Amino acid sequence: METYANNYVMVAIFLLLGIFLPVAALAAGRLLRPHRPSGAKLTTYESGNDPVGEGQVQFNIRYYLFALMFVIFDVETVFLYPWAVAYRQLGLFVLVEMLIFVALLLVGLLYAWKKKVLKWDSI
């Protein structure tokens, strides 16, 4: 059992190394790179013109709808995974159950489709 934890020690090492590389590289870069900020350099880039208005502009509501759809179907996949792992041991009954579950969500997808949520009409 305690040797099983070794695998998670490995995962932790990977995470730490993943954090270490950018931190170390950016810290080392600080010694190498010049640092001469000027007013013009620090302005927001907008194809060479002076920036107009706020940078955090209003964006399309569709992104929000896609995020909602994503949450629904991602939760569905969370249910699908354990089902798929155990499928060999389970019978026809769970297959029908999963069919019903997926069909319910598919109705949601069809509804979104009909409501033209999936149709992209601007940026």
Partner 1 sequence: MGDLLREPLTAGNALLFLLAAAGLLLIVLGFVTYAIYFERRVIGWMQLRVGPNRVGPLGLLQTVADIFKLLIKEDTIPRKADRALFVLAPVLAYVPAFAVLAVIPYTSGLYFADLNVGLLYYVALSSMTTLAIVLGGWASNNKYALLGGMRSAAQMISYEVPLVMSVVGVVMLSGSMNLRSIVAAQGDWFWQWHFLPQLIGFAIFVVASVSELNRTPFDLPEAESELVAGYHVEYSGFRFAFFMLTEYVYVYAIAALTTVLFLGGWHPPAPFLDIVPGLIWFVLKFALVVFVLFWLRATFPRLRVDQLMGFGWKVLLPLALLNIFVTAAYMELWIK
Site residues for partner 1, 37-96, by CB under 8 A, read 37, 41-47, 51, 54-57, 59-60, 62-63, 66-67, 69-70, 73-74, 77, 80-81, 84-88, 92, 95
Compute φ and ψ for 64, nearest 5 degrees.
Answer: -65, -45
* Shortest Å, Cβ 11 to partner 1: 5
Q: Looking at this protein, which amino acid is placed at residue 51? A: P
Which residue of 22, 49, 61, 114 would you call a contact of partner 1, by CB under 8 A?
A: 22
Contact call for residue 100 and partner 1 (CB under 8 A): no
* Shortest Å, Cβ 38 to partner 1: 9
Instruction: Determine the straight-line distance between the first and last CA of the chain, rounded to whole angstroms.
Output: 53
* Shortest Å, Cβ 100 to partner 1: 12
64 and 86 Cβ atoms separated by less than 8 Å: no
Half-sphere exposure of 3 (CA within 13 A, CB side): 0
Which residue of 104, 106, 108, 115 would you call a contact of partner 1, by CB under 8 A?
A: 106
What gap in Å lies between CA 45 and CA 48, rounded to an integer? 7
**Total of residues contacting partner 1 (CB under 8 A):** 72
- Tell me the residue length of the chain: 123
Query: Which token pair is 31?
Result: 């010694």
* Shortest Å, Cβ 105 to partner 1: 9
